[in-house]
Structures are given as structure tokens and as C-alpha cells.
Amino acid sequence: MNRLLRRYLAPALVFVAVLAVWEFFVRAFGIQGFLLPPPSEVVRTVSAEWPVVWPAGLFTLREALGGLFGGSIAAIAVAFAVSRWSTIRVGVQPLAVAAGSAPIIALAPITNQWFGITNPVSKMAVVAVMVFFPVMINMVRGLTDVGGAKVELMNSLAAPDFATLWKVRLPNSLPYLLSALRVAVALSLIGAVVTEYFGGSRAALGVYISQQAGLTRMAEAWAGIVVATLLGAGLQLLVMGAERVLIPWHPSRRLTPA
Amino acid sequence: MTSVMVSLRGVDKVFPRRKGASTVALEGIDLEIRAGDFVSLLGPSGCGKSTLLRIVGDLLEPTAGTVTVNGKSPSRARHDRDYGMVFQQATLLEWRRVLGNVALPLEVTGMAEPQRSERAREMLKLVELVEFADHYPWQLSGGMQQRVAIARALTLEPSLLLMDEPFGALDEMTRERMQMELMRIWQETQTTVLFVTHSIPEAVFLSTQVVVMTPRPGRVAGIVDIDLPQPRVFETREETKYFDKLVEVREVLRAEEE
Amino acid sequence: MGGLYRFIPLMVVAAPPISFSNRWLRSMVGFGVVLLVLAGLWEGYKLLGRTDLPLPVRADNRSMPHLWDIVRSIFEPARRGSEETLGWVLTKASLVTFREAVAGFLAGSVIGLGLGLLFVRSPLAERGLMPWVVASQTIPLLAIAPMVVLWAGKYRLPLWIPIAALAAFLSFFPVTVNTIRGLRSPSPTSAELFRSIAASPSQEFRKLRIPAAFPYLFTALKVAAGASVVGTIVGELPSGLPDGLGRQLLTFSYYYSSGPEKLYAAVLFAVLLGLTFVAVVALIERLVIPPTRRVAQ
């Protein structure tokens, strides 16, 4: 209880302090609401706009999840192939590095043309490409960084390759996969919202945010961001829950993979 | 009845290096190991003792020479699951509890469930760790982890136990306790043991025969029979004959250095 | 195969390491092969389009222009009646975006480095602020792009400033995390060694921790460089800034029907811009850090 308190007290105090300063700042200096609304007004707007913002959030969430699943499953499949045949790795690795430094978001106008600007698939495709490479890289690492001794152990038991894969490589890759998913989850939601800045369905959160901002209705735009943040946090919690269930043996003290 | 368990004849091992160069790790090894014996391979780092162990265990192939185990080729013997292996690191799968780790070889050979756990539990009894069956490896001390590894190596009732510096990572006190434990287990199971170490007292205390090896290239410098009374007990280390054997082994090593 | 080396006795392990240029060549060749395969898949898919197979994406020249058409469009005039080739227009746009990205990258790196140093020095600051630094990255901060741009408009700031600020926001985080990691990477025994010779804390910091942090820092800087380009392009979308790549992407997608290959060329330039920036940082890394001390990403 005490440890829990100490762990969350400092960040909670900072949170309250930031909100207080923000509120004070806006009121004291008379900053116009259309520039920076005070937090109290954002909260009011969130509840007022809820019937619009929440479905929009769910719409975008669906796009994010679709892309996340598609991209992750493709990434895992490719990772299996790459870890099995090292010749593929020679070509895929530099591609992955290249993709890591390329602004994948720029693909959005192309997928809009391919699938239709209001079709959620156009956003899912971009999100899938975004999450593909981090998930694949980590999965390959998890499948291959097993340590020679464990492979030797399985060899000494004359275990067939699939047994080594199933009993050693796969469990070994779980922590790597989950830490990649933590990144991918955040990426997928941001990716979906930002992809919608290139145009999208009226029902989508990204379109809502950019429209409200365009009309200088800042409190509404911030309400959209609050919803996006809540959804992102919810997804993070899901992954953390999955970590708790799937890798209870892992000393996960790492903060975030870089 | 003294049948031959392992027989090596004219075994060479050459590791190729880049640009046509090569390193001779083993040269002209002739060795016979009787069933039921406890044989140690003793020598400094780089004398090829681990390489020799791995050739016997079919984890490496000899460049020249013949190896038979139980009258079979090492590959045949490995696929017949004649081997149990213990490495310097316990090499436990960290996502499995202790019982699951001990049961791993049984899973690989396809033993069905109630018997599998029963058998694994028996093995844990042998190494006196039944009460830790549901612990994860990281919850155990180094010595306990190594005992789990020994239990795992013995589950398939191997006719040959291959141990590669299994106590090398343990402190001296734990090490001596583990040596006593190993002697007890060896008495109970009657398996043949091939044991790699660079500790002279360890080799003399445990073995019925010490094979002294020297490096560059790895060769057998001499074989010392250790006819100390069985079972080996705490007091064995205090006997005059024990010291005589220590001296004898040292002499063989020194003779080679000159 | 590499795993085998574990079992070779020590004396053998002194084998000469694979030379760097050799590995570099190998991965470049591999990359080239992958690009060729991707190009082949692209054109192959277009061939499939001539059959009656139901395809998820239409393979006609409108949806998927031929690769050679895309390349050719770069050397043709961007607009009818204009002298400027598309390549030149996009190069200018890339330079504008690059300048903003560099500004954001530099600002983000300095902020990231500063926060990292602060957190390593002050556990209290780390406890209070680090969770928020982490949280800031899960909030869709890019989403505030429209607002940041509005602020700048209100206070008559040049538009590149809010865009660079967004880029900085995306790039500071990896730098912070890896600065902390790098400064904490020396083993406790190395730290004890410094204490055993009565080195001052600042000596320990300068001679142990900072050199140890360098490889980590550069790994983060490469991530930050890529992120800053993303931030810049997204920032340019709502800004109305007519010069940058983000705007070009929007423009060419509006006029897609009159020249689909132009959009593809613009996307290509955006990708190349990201790659170039990261490559420049990697080049600096290579000059600063010997190859054996680099940390894999």
C-alpha cells in the first residue's frame, strides 16, 4: 500500500499541479478560449460532446485495431520465415531499418485512393504498415535470441525442430512480442487519427478534431484529444493485462523499448 | 561385468577458420569408458575437453576417427535418448515452473500426462526438491537450479550422463555439497557419467577415472585410476590416499607442461 | 551456425571478425534484391489485374501507375505550361520540410538530453515527471497539430516554428529514454573502480558515464531524426504552409485524377527525405563512435 502510494503519488501531484497551473494561467492572463481552453471547460465539453465524440472515437478505434491486427499477424508470419531462413534476413533487415526512418504516414493519400477515402480499410492499411516493422523486428529477435545452450539442450534430447520452436523459441519470443505490441498499440491509435487528417469519414475522430480546430472550436478539439488519449490508455492497459497473464515469469522492469 | 559404454578411436577435431587457416582442437584421442564408471575430463581452458564431451554427445561431429556409444553411433544413441546433459548454466526454461522443466524431456518423447508429472516428481524427490515443484526457476538459488537441471537430465534414465562443468558457476561450499549430492545420485541410479571440469580436487573426489588433457592441440596426457573406496563421503577428502591421488594427477599435468 | 562459436575453445575465438565493409556490402546487395522483388511484385500485381481475378486493389494505371511512369513524371514539368520539373518542385519542398525537421530535431534532442541528465541527477524529478514523459507519447500529440498551428497564427509567429515544435515533441522522447539508459549502463563494478581511486563524481561522469552513454544516444538520435520528419509532415497538413512536402502530398492527392504518378513521386520523396536524414545522423555516428561500440537498435 505504502509502495503503491509512493509510486503514484508523485506523478499524481504533478498532474494536479499541471492542471492547476494551466487553469490559473488561462484565467489570469485572459487567454481567449479559442487558443487554449482551461481544463475545466474541456471537461465540460467532453461531457457535452460525448454523444458525438465517443462514437467517433470508437470508429477510429476500429480502424486502429484492424490495422494493428492485420499488421501484427503479417509481421509475426514474416518473422517466422525470417528466423527460419537467414538468407531472407539479409534483405529484410535493411528494409526494416529503412521503413523505420521513412514517414509511413505519407502513404495515407495513396491508400485513400486505393480503398476510398471514407473506407476504414484505407486507414487500417496505413496503420498495418506502421506497426508491421517494429513487431516483426522484435519477433525475429525473440525467436532467435534464445541462447545456444537451450538449443543444445533440445538437440541433446533429439527434439524435432517444431518442438524447439514450440517449447523454446515461441515462449522465448513472448516478452519481445508484447513489448513491441505496447509500442504498436500507441502507434496504431495515433496513426489512425493522423491518417484521417488526409481526409476520412465524417464519423471519424481525426476528422472531427481537425474540423473543430479549423473552426477554432478548441474546447471541442481538445475533447476529441481527450477521447483519443482515453482509448490509447485503455489499449495500453489491455496489453499490460496480457503481459500479466502471458508472461508472469518475466522480470519486466524495463520502461519502454527504444 | 565391465562392458564398454563409450569408445573413441583416433578422434581429431579441426575447426576451420577464415582464409584457409584452421585450429586443431583435438588430436588423436583414444579413450574407452566402462559402463558404470564416473570419468572426468580434466584440463586447462582450451584443451578441448568440452569439445570432446560434445563429440560424444553428438552435438559436434569429429573431423576424423570413430566414436561408438553403447555399440552405436553417437547420432543413433542421441535419437535413442541414451544421453542426459547438464551444462555449466542450469539452462532452465524460465517460463516453466520447476516441474515443467523436469518434465521437458518426457514431453519431447511424448509421454502422456499423469505419468509424466509423476515421473518428474520422482526425479525431484531424487534431488530433494519436491517442495519447489511449483516455483519458477528465478525463485531458486544457483545450486538448486543446477539440481533441477540434473533431475531433468535423469528423467529419461539415460545410460550416459554428460556433464559440462556443471558446478563451475557455484561457490565452493555449494559446490562441495553438490558433489556429495551427485555421488549419492550416481550410487542410486548407476549411470555412467562423463564429467568435464578444471578442478583437480573435484575430479579426484568424484571420479573412478580421471582423464588428464593438455591443450594445443588437445590430447590425452594420461589417465589416472582413482581407486578410493566407494561410496565417497565427507571423510574421503581427509584420507591420505586422496592426497596421493591429487599429487599424482598434478604430476601428470606438470609433466606435460615441460 | 553462429551459435557454434560458443563451443570452440578460447584460443580459437580470436578469429578475425567479419570486416565491416563486407557486411555493409552484403546488406546493401540484400536491400537491392528486396527492392527488386518489391518492384516485381508491384508490376506482377498489375499483370494479374489484366485477368478477371477479384483483387482487393484495382490494378489499373490510375490506382497503381507503372513504376517507369512514376520515375518519368519526376523529370517532366510539374504543371502544364510550367518550366519546372516535378523533381525540382519536390526537391524544393523536401528542403523546406528538411529545414523544419532539422530545427525540430535539434530542439527535441537538446530537450531530450536535458531531461535525461536531469532525471539521472535527480531521482525526485524522475519519479514525478518520467511517468508523464512516457504518457505524453501515448497521447496522440500529433493530434494537436491543428491547434499548434493556430497558436502560431494568432501570435504572428513564422509558420515553421509550430511545425518544428511538433517535430521536437516527437523526437525528444527516445533521446530522453536512451540518455538515461546510457548514463546508467556502466556496471556497478566500473563505478566502484572509479570510487576506489577516489575519482570525483564529475570525473566519474565525464570519464565513465558520458562515454558509455554515447552509443545509446546515437541510437536514439537516429529514431529522433525519423520521428522529426513524420512530425514535420503532419504539422504541415493543417498549416496551409504552401511550400513543404506535407502540402505537396495533399495537393497531389486532390489532383490525383490528373496525374496519379505525381502523388507517388511525392510519397517517394517523403520516404527518401526520412531515409536521408537518418543516414546523415548514422554517418555522424560512424565518424564519432568506433564500430565495435555501437548498440543495435
The reply to whether A72 and A158 lie within a common domain is yes
Give the residue numbers spanning the domain of A1. 1-31
pLDDT in tens, B44-84: 887 888 899 999 988 888 888 889 888 888 888 888 888 88
Q: What is the mean pLDDT of residues A206-218?
A: 84
In a domain, C81, yes or no: yes
Residues of C in contact with B216 (CB under 8 A): 11
By mean pLDDT, which of A70-74, A247-251, C136-140 is the weakest? C136-140
The reply to whether C102 and C242 lie within a common domain is yes
Residue from B13, B15, B24, B56 whose CB has the most chain C CBs within 10 Å, to mutate: B15
pLDDT of A135 strictly over 80: yes
C147 with A92: Cβ contact below 8 A: no
B51 with C10: Cβ contact below 8 A: no
pLDDT in tens, A148-162: 888 888 988 888 888
Residue C4 pLDDT grade (very low, low, confident, very high; cuts 50, 70, 90) = very low
What pLDDT was estimated at residue A5?
66
Residue B99 pLDDT grade (very low, low, confident, very high; cuts 50, 70, 90) = very high
The reply to whether B57 and B175 lie within a common domain is yes
What pLDDT was estimated at residue B207?
92
The reply to whether C33 and C142 lie within a common domain is no
What pLDDT was estimated at residue B143?
85
The reply to whether A22 and A101 lie within a common domain is no
Give the residue numbers spanning the domain of B75. 4-82+158-257
> Distance from C141 to chain A by nearest Cα, in Å?
8
Q: Is A93 exposed, middle or buried (0-12, 13-18, 19+ CB in 10 A)?
A: middle
Q: Phi then psi for B41, rounded to 5 degrees? A: -100, 115
The reply to whether B120 and B190 lie within a common domain is no
The reply to whether B239 and B191 lie within a common domain is yes
B51 with C16: Cβ contact below 8 A: no
Cα–Cα distance, B167 to B248 (Å, whole number): 23
Residues of C in contact with A92 (CB under 8 A): 30, 34
Helix (H) or strand (E) holding B161: strand B160-164
Residue C112 pLDDT grade (very low, low, confident, very high; cuts 50, 70, 90) = very high
The reply to whether A13 and A121 lie within a common domain is no
In a domain, C9, yes or no: no
Kindly state the DSSP code that residue A102 receives in the 8-state scheme: S
The reply to whether A23 and A100 lie within a common domain is no
The reply to whether C160 and C260 lie within a common domain is yes
What pLDDT was estimated at residue C262?
85
Cα–Cα distance, B256 to C11 (Å, whole number): 19
Q: Of the candidates B111, B141, B157, which is a domain's last residue?
A: B157
List, as ranges, residues 155-184 from A with C-beta within 8 Å of B: 155-159, 163, 167-168, 171-172, 174
The reply to whether A43 and A19 lie within a common domain is no
A228 with C219: Cβ contact below 8 A: no
Q: Of the candidates B114, B137, B157, which is a domain's last residue?
A: B157
In a domain, B210, yes or no: yes
The reply to whether A112 and A22 lie within a common domain is no
Half-sphere exposure of B60 (CA within 13 A, CB side): 25
The reply to whether A10 and A88 lie within a common domain is no
User: Between the CA of residue A107 and those of A93, B52, B117, C267, what are the distances in Å?
Assistant: 21, 57, 54, 7
User: Between the CA of residue B187 and those of A196, B73, B95, B191, B192, what are the distances in Å?
Assistant: 73, 27, 32, 8, 10
In a domain, A194, yes or no: yes
pLDDT of A34 strictly over 70: no
Residues of B in contact with A163 (CB under 8 A): 107-108
The reply to whether B149 and B180 lie within a common domain is no
Q: Of the candidates C64, C83, C105, which is a domain's last residue?
A: C64
B81 with A163: Cβ contact below 8 A: no
Top pLDDT among B228 and A61 is at A61
What pLDDT was estimated at residue C10?
29
The reply to whether B14 and B129 lie within a common domain is no
Those chains having 3 or more beta-carbon pairs within 8 angstroms of chain A are: B, C
A156 with B108: Cβ contact below 8 A: no
Q: Phi then psi for C6, rounded to 5 degrees? A: -60, -25
Q: What is the mean pLDDT of residues A104-111?
A: 86
The reply to whether C204 and C224 lie within a common domain is yes
What pLDDT was estimated at residue C288?
81
Report the residue count for chain A.
258
pLDDT of C145 strictly over 80: no
| Joined grid coordinates for residue C98 | 528538411
The reply to whether B54 and B105 lie within a common domain is no
pLDDT in tens, C176-233: 988 888 888 887 777 778 877 777 788 888 888 888 888 888 888 988 998 899 888 8
Q: Give the residue on B whose Cα is nearest the Cα of A173.
A: B95
Q: Considering the entire predicted model, what is its pTM?
A: 0.79
Q: What is the mean pLDDT of chain B?
A: 87
Neighbours of C65 (CB within 10 A): 21
- Preceding peptide of B217 cis, ω within 30°: yes
Residue from C5, C6, C12, C18 whose CB has the most chain B CBs within 10 Å, to mutate: C12
Residues 6+ apart with CB under 8 A from B13: B24, B25, B26, B48, B51, B52, B55, B60, B62, B63, B218
In a domain, B243, yes or no: yes
C11 touches chain B (CB under 8 A): yes
> Distance from C9 to chain B by nearest Cα, in Å?
5
The reply to whether C241 and C289 lie within a common domain is yes
The reply to whether C106 and C141 lie within a common domain is yes
pLDDT of A36 strictly over 50: yes
Neighbours of C214 (CB within 10 A): 16
Cα–Cα distance, A77 to A79 (Å, whole number): 5
Torsion angle in degrees (nearest 10) through CA of A161, A165, A168, A170: 180
Q: Of the candidates B157, B179, B205, which is a domain's last residue?
A: B157
By mean pLDDT, which of B46-60, C20-34, C77-91 is the weakest? C20-34
| Joined grid coordinates for residue C156 | 504572428
Residue A128 pLDDT grade (very low, low, confident, very high; cuts 50, 70, 90) = very high
Kindly state the DSSP code that residue C85 receives in the 8-state scheme: B
Q: Give the residue on B whose Cα is nearest the Cα of A160.
A: B108
The reply to whether B221 and B107 lie within a common domain is no
Q: What is the mean pLDDT of residues C238-263?
A: 80
Q: Give the residue on A whose Cα is nearest the Cα of C136.
A: A229
Of A31, A51, A24, give the one whose Cα is nearest residue A203: A51
The reply to whether C156 and C180 lie within a common domain is yes
The reply to whether C168 and C213 lie within a common domain is yes
What pLDDT was estimated at residue C214?
86
Report the residue count for chain C.
297
Asked whether the beta carbons of C96 and C248 are under 8 A apart, the reply is no
Give the residue numbers spanning the domain of C131. 71-293
Residues of C in contact with B59 (CB under 8 A): 7
Q: What is the mean pLDDT of chain C?
A: 79
Residue A7 pLDDT grade (very low, low, confident, very high; cuts 50, 70, 90) = low
Q: Give the residue on B whose Cα is nearest the Cα of C12.
A: B23
pLDDT in tens, B177-202: 889 888 988 988 889 999 999 999 99
What pLDDT was estimated at residue A65?
95
List, as ranges, residues 16-55 from C with C-beta within 8 Å of B: 16
Residue A257 pLDDT grade (very low, low, confident, very high; cuts 50, 70, 90) = very low
> Distance from B203 to chain A by nearest Cα, in Å?
24
Asked whether the beta carbons of B214 and B256 are under 8 A apart, the reply is yes
List, as ranges, residues 140-179 from B with C-beta within 8 Å of A: 156, 162
The reply to whether B105 and B162 lie within a common domain is no
Residue from C1, C6, C10, C11 whose CB has the most chain B CBs within 10 Å, to mutate: C11
Asked whether the beta carbons of B35 and B17 are under 8 A apart, the reply is no
In a domain, B88, yes or no: no
The reply to whether C113 and C50 lie within a common domain is no
C219 with A258: Cβ contact below 8 A: yes
In a domain, C2, yes or no: no
Q: Of the candidates C64, C89, C105, which is a domain's last residue?
A: C64
Q: Domain tally for chain A? A: 2
Residue C22 pLDDT grade (very low, low, confident, very high; cuts 50, 70, 90) = low
Top pLDDT among A253 and B168 is at B168
In a domain, A258, yes or no: no
List, as ranges, residues 27-86 from A with C-beta within 8 Å of C: 34-36, 86
pLDDT of A212 strictly over 80: yes
**Residue in the structure block whose three cell numbers are 558457476:** B169
Q: Is C231 exposed, middle or buried (0-12, 13-18, 19+ CB in 10 A)?
A: buried
The reply to whether A18 and A117 lie within a common domain is no
Cα–Cα distance, C129 to C98 (Å, whole number): 31
- The CATH number covering residue B207 comes to 3.40.50.300
A154 with B81: Cβ contact below 8 A: no
Residue C160 pLDDT grade (very low, low, confident, very high; cuts 50, 70, 90) = confident
Q: Give the residue on A whose Cα is nearest the Cα of C130.
A: A11
- Please enumerate, as own/partner, the contacts of A170-173 that have beta carbons within 8 Å and a separation of 24 or more: A170/A143, A171/B93, A171/B95, A171/B96, A172/A142, A172/A143, A172/A145, A172/A146, A172/B95, A173/A139, A173/A141, A173/A142, A173/A143
pLDDT of B39 strictly over 90: yes
A245 touches chain B (CB under 8 A): no
The reply to whether C130 and C33 lie within a common domain is no
**Candidate from B59, B91, B107 with C-beta closest to A150:** B91
Residues of A in contact with B95 (CB under 8 A): 171-172, 174, 247, 249-250
The reply to whether B49 and B169 lie within a common domain is yes
The reply to whether B166 and B76 lie within a common domain is yes
Residues of C in contact with A189 (CB under 8 A): 140
Alpha helices in A103-165 (DSSP H): 108-115, 120-144, 148-156, 161-164
The reply to whether A14 and A68 lie within a common domain is no
Q: Give the residue on B whose Cα is nearest the Cα of A158.
A: B79
CA geometry: angle A67, A73, A79, nearest 5 deg: 130
Those chains having 3 or more beta-carbon pairs within 8 angstroms of chain C are: A, B
Cα–Cα distance, C12 to B27 (Å, whole number): 15
B81 with A150: Cβ contact below 8 A: no
The reply to whether C32 and C133 lie within a common domain is no
pLDDT of A166 strictly over 50: yes
CA B1 to chain centre: 23
**Candidate from B17, B19, B51 with C-beta closest to C9:** B51
Q: Domain tally for chain B? A: 2
**Candidate from B81, B89, B93 with C-beta closest to A168:** B93
The reply to whether A102 and A207 lie within a common domain is yes
Those chains having 3 or more beta-carbon pairs within 8 angstroms of chain B are: A, C
Asked whether the beta carbons of C85 and C75 are under 8 A apart, the reply is yes
List, as ranges, residues 122-141 from B with C-beta within 8 Å of A: 136, 138
The reply to whether C34 and C177 lie within a common domain is no
Q: Of the candidates C26, C41, C64, which is a domain's last residue?
A: C64
In a domain, A182, yes or no: yes
pLDDT of C2 strictly over 70: no
List, as ranges, residues 87-126 from B with C-beta within 8 Å of A: 87, 89, 91, 93-96, 104-105, 107-109
- Percent above pLDDT 90 for chain C: 11
Q: Domain tally for chain C? A: 2
In a domain, A255, yes or no: no
**Residue in the structure block whose three cell numbers are 488561462:** A26
**What spatial distance separates the first Cα and last Cα of chain B, rounded to whole Å?**
39
